[in-house]
Amino acid sequence: MILLSALFNWRSTKALVAFGDSYTYVQGVLGHQNYTYIGDNLNLAFTPQQLLSNRIVQNQTSTAEGGPNWVEYLTNCGVKPGLTDPRKCDVQLWDFAYAGSDVSEVLTPLHHDHTVSLARQVEQFEDYGNPALEHVLDKKETLVAIWIGINDINDLAKLRGKNTAFAPLYEQVQTQLFQLVKQIYDLGYPNFLFMNLPPLDRGPSPSVNASLVLTFNSIHSSHATAFQATHPDAAILQFDVNAMLNGILDHPGEYGIKNITNFCPGYNQPDIRTDPAKYGCGEGLDTYFWYDSGHLTTRVHQIFVPILRDWLSMQSV
Ligand SMILES: *[C@@H]1O[C@H](CO)[C@@H](O)[C@H](O)[C@H]1NC(C)=O
Ligand SMILES: *[C@@H]1O[C@H](CO)[C@@H](O)[C@H](O)[C@H]1NC(C)=O
Ligand SMILES: *[C@@H]1O[C@H](CO)[C@@H](O)[C@H](O)[C@H]1NC(C)=O
Ligand SMILES: *[C@@H]1O[C@H](CO)[C@@H](O)[C@H](O)[C@H]1NC(C)=O
């Protein structure tokens, strides 16, 4: 029997390379504001010098959560307000996620002409990211983190209507996703972390129900497990963030969360941190589960990351 994580060791992991959507993107000085660390779909190219001189921005508008997000907490890279050089972090964070991204344009159109789908993120990584990074990181001590599918499931629900048979579409999404995973693996990266869909069905204005989320996640998991079986020298780690987040929603009080049904209407106001009462959000954003109609608060990211980190340690050799 092959160990699931034959190669992976969180304690010796020196870099996280991230792909995905708004849950995962971080703002870079050279990024498209509110969308990315570097470049956009109209300008995918960058030089090694540009990538390495770029900085992670941390301020109120630099993520889709109103503060640090899970990749920043996990690596402790870019959490502090101001600018961070990823190479100065104990675990470097190289983030190619783009807010509003779907897996590809095959089933769902781009949200904007500047949106970088996951397929294009991987193309960008092959052409520019990896050639620059292979001089500054060790691929075997790098974890590739992918959190994608939130826009796919929502977009498909809106585009196709409620009488659609969704499972075959989710199969297509996952087939495409794991072709992209293979492309990254073929560059020499053996360690992958996958996050499944959050409980979008419990959001403030859900486009999908629990059974669609469950179906999507179970198809995703089958593809990940199949990839592991056909690539025994890879470590394919599947974190069930859906179960974790449903647990918080079921027992919010244990985590200091008081509002799980809606978001604070003044969530993006410059004075929301100092004067939440002005917007009727008396106890502040950190007591809210949802940041806006589609995103978790930075506090929820901060709550689940230590559990993810412990879990990563348990998957290690
Ligand atoms: C980025 O988002 C902030 C807050 O929502 C907004 O004020 C700003 O105009 C946005 N920037 C761009 C370039 O769209
Ligand atoms: C966050 O930083 C970016 C880039 O430096 C800047 O454009 C933006 O205005 C800042 N936002 C806030 C709320 O300070
Ligand atoms: C969930 O939504 C799908 C697609 O609209 C629908 O076919 C299914 O009956 C719904 N399931 C439940 C339990 O409501
Ligand atoms: C949750 O927050 C919304 C927006 O601030 C508010 O309207 C609602 O009453 C709150 N719900 C609870 C249970 O506090």
CA-proximal residue: ligand 2, atom 11 (nearest) = 61
pLDDT digits (tens, 9 = 90+) for 234-264: 999 999 999 999 999 999 999 999 999 999 9
Q: Are 27 and 33 in contact (CB under 8 A)?
A: yes
Q: Count other C-beta atoms under 10 Å from residue 311's C-beta.
A: 16
The CA R_g of the chain, rounded to the nearest whole Å, is 19
Nearest-atom number in ligand 2 for the CA of 33 is 7
Nearest-atom number in ligand 3 for the CA of 161 is 5
Instruction: Please report, as a single letter, which amino acid is at residue 169.
Output: L
Whether the CB of 264 sits within 6 Å of ligand 4: yes
Confidence of residue 153 (pLDDT cuts 50, 70, 90): very high
Q: Are 157 and 170 in contact (CB under 8 A)?
A: no
* Interval 299-310 mean pLDDT: 98
Nearest-atom number in ligand 3 for the CA of 162 is 5
Tokens of 284: 């502040």
Distant-in-sequence contacts of 138-142, Cβ < 8 A, 24+ apart: 138/14, 138/15, 139/187, 139/188, 139/189, 139/190, 140/7, 140/190, 140/191, 141/12, 141/13, 141/14, 141/15, 142/13, 142/14, 142/15, 142/16, 142/17, 142/189, 142/191
Question: How far away, in angstroms, is 291 Cα from ligand 1 center?
Answer: 16
Q: Residue 6's pLDDT is what?
A: 62
Q: Are 286 and 231 in contact (CB under 8 A)?
A: no
Residues with CB under 6 A from ligand 3: 162, 209, 211-212
Whether the CB of 34 sits within 6 Å of ligand 1: yes
Q: Count other C-beta atoms under 10 Å from residue 134's C-beta.
A: 15
pLDDT digits (tens, 9 = 90+) for 34-73: 999 999 999 999 999 999 999 999 999 999 999 999 999 9
User: Rounded to an integer, what distance in angstroms lies between the CA atom of residue 194 and that of residue 176?
Assistant: 15
Quote the mean pLDDT of the chain.
96
CATH class for the region spanning 2-249+298-315: alpha beta
Question: How far away, in angstroms, is 51 Cα from ligand 1 center?
Answer: 23
Give, for 106, the enclosing helix (H) or strand (E): none
pLDDT digits (tens, 9 = 90+) for 171-202: 999 999 999 999 999 999 999 999 999 999 99
- For tokens 């600018």, name the residue: 83
Q: Residue 9's pLDDT is what?
A: 95
137: nearest Cα among 17, 279, 253, 248: 17
